[in-house]
Amino acid sequence: MKIDVYAVGHALVDLQIQVTDKVLEASGFDKGIMTLVDDDQQQQVLEQIADLPRNQCAGGSAANTIVGLADLGGRAAYCGKIGQDAIGHSFLADLEAIGVQMNVAPAATGPTGTCAVLITPDAQRTLLTNLGVSATLTPDDIDEQAISQSQYVYVEGYLLHGESGRATAERAMQLAVKHGVKVAFTASDPFLVNIFRDHMWELIKGPVDMFFCNEEEARSLTGDDDAAASARAIHQHLESVAVTLGANGSLIVHGDDQFSIEGVAVEAIDTTGAGDMYAGSLLYGVTNGLSWPQAGQLASHASARIVSQLGARLNEKFTPDEIKAF
């Protein structure tokens, strides 16, 4: 089976909860970013908001991206690690039901990773991530045969945070290069850029063909406040770069061309998974015959749909006719 995108990332189950700013402030965590927490820290926060409704689904950055691609009709594969627990089984069933080819290695012991997504009224999402066994993903878990059948390998930046994750990310990229498969990489979060800036530049100047980031991450990476200038600086070292600009759309630089993609006006409810959906939609487009501007427009509309609802799964999926219209 040919695969459009083989994604590698931390397998997490998302617990999405709407909270007030007061509740978030009481938690003591910084708004709008991802923070790694242990079992006790996460459980303490969850107990404080136990009476609030929550939504549960398979998540993690790369998983959200690959689900977005599969929802559009793309051929997707995913590599991660889950625990042999109920929440891990739900992760596996969730992605398999969408048609994602799973390359998941259950850990012998330990809990499946979880991410508490605290959503405030301004649609900002604050992530409290307990990696669980997802942090034990190793290079041996990568499926070389599946990579060899893919058009792209997609790696989430969150993997850089642990030694095992970094080694796994690098192994996936090495195998992609070996088999002539393109490599896509996402910065994932501004705090990661601040910590691993030099390493990200090594990847950008090395195996990465396509780089995804938002304007804050681009600014941190290049030191330039202008998104277009940042995109061009990154593009000097690779084939394609996509910089998301929130409500203002996105900027794509590919080859000798630069495309400004308009944003789609919606009322933002929850920004969880917006960047992940953008990446999945753009990758779907460029692996399924759309031009770069068409793929960018699809990605812009798909991410707009995500922020206008709760959660990182499309409630209203695109029809084949809608996709062709781009």
For residue 281, give both structure tokens. Answer: 């939609």
What is the edge-to-edge ordering of all strands in the sheet holding 240-244?
101-106, 76-82, 3-8, 150-156, 182-186, 210-214, 240-244, 250-254, 257-261
Chain centroid to Cα 326, Å, comes to 23
Please state, in angstroms and rounded to a whole number, the distance separating the CA atoms of residues 89 and 91: 5
For the chain, give the mean pLDDT.
Answer: 92
CA dist., res. 128 & res. 152, Å (int) = 29
Of 217, 216, 326, the closest CA to residue 281 belongs to: 326
Residue 266, sorted as left (phi over 0), alpha (psi -120 to 50) or beta, turns out to be beta
pTM: 0.91
Q: Helix 190-205 vs helix 215-222: angle between axes, to the nearest 10 degrees?
A: 60
On the 0-12 / 13-18 / 19+ scale of CB atoms within 10 A, 23 is: middle
pLDDT of residue 47: 86
The dihedral formed by the CA atoms of 289, 294, 298 and 301, expressed in degrees to the nearest 10: -170
CB 283 within 8 A of CB 65: yes
315 has pLDDT over 80: yes
- What pLDDT is stored for residue 296 in this prediction? 97
Which residue has better confidence, 201 or 109? 201
Distance between CA atoms of 172 and 174, rounded to whole angstroms?
Answer: 6
Q: Which of 10, 7, 11, 17 is nearest to 90 (CA)?
A: 11
- CB of 35 closer than 8 Å to CB of 4: no
Q: Residue 50 — very low, low, confident or very high, per pLDDT cuts 50/70/90?
A: confident
175 vs 269, higher pLDDT: 175
Residue 81 C-alpha from the chain's centroid: 16
Domain positions in the chain: 3-10+60-110+135-325
Pairing of strands 182-186, 150-156: parallel
pLDDT tops 70 at residue 82: yes
- Predicted confidence at residue 1, as pLDDT, reads 63
Tell me the mean pLDDT in the region 294-313: 89
The pLDDT > 90 percentage for the chain reads 66
Model confidence pLDDT, tens digit, residues 234-278: 999 999 999 999 989 999 999 999 999 999 999 888 777 889 999
Q: What is the pLDDT of residue 151?
A: 98
Strands (E), 107-221: 113-119, 125-130, 150-156, 182-186, 210-214
Whether the predicted pLDDT of 131 surpasses 80: yes
Higher pLDDT, 109 or 196: 196
Residue with tokens 């303490």: 44
HSE of 65 in the Cβ direction (CA atoms, 13 Å)? 34
Tell me how far apart the alpha carbons of residues 271 and 117 are, in angstroms, rounded to a whole number: 10
pLDDT at 100: 95
In which band, very low, low, confident or very high, does the pLDDT at 43 lie, cut at 50, 70 and 90? confident
Give 236: exposed, middle or buried? Use CB within 10 Å, 0-12, 13-18, 19+: exposed
**Quick one: average pLDDT of 151-167?**
96
Model confidence at 311: pLDDT above 80: no
Rounded alpha-carbon distances, angstroms, from residue 141 to 106, 109, 151, 172, 215:
10, 16, 19, 10, 33
| CA nearest neighbour of 155 among 128, 174, 136, 178 | 174
Architecture per CATH, 3-10+60-110+135-325:
3-Layer(aba) Sandwich (3.40)
Choose among 215, 189, 162: nearest CA to 272.
Answer: 189
How much is the CA Rg of the chain, to the nearest whole Å?
A: 18
pLDDT higher than threshold 80 for residue 40 = yes
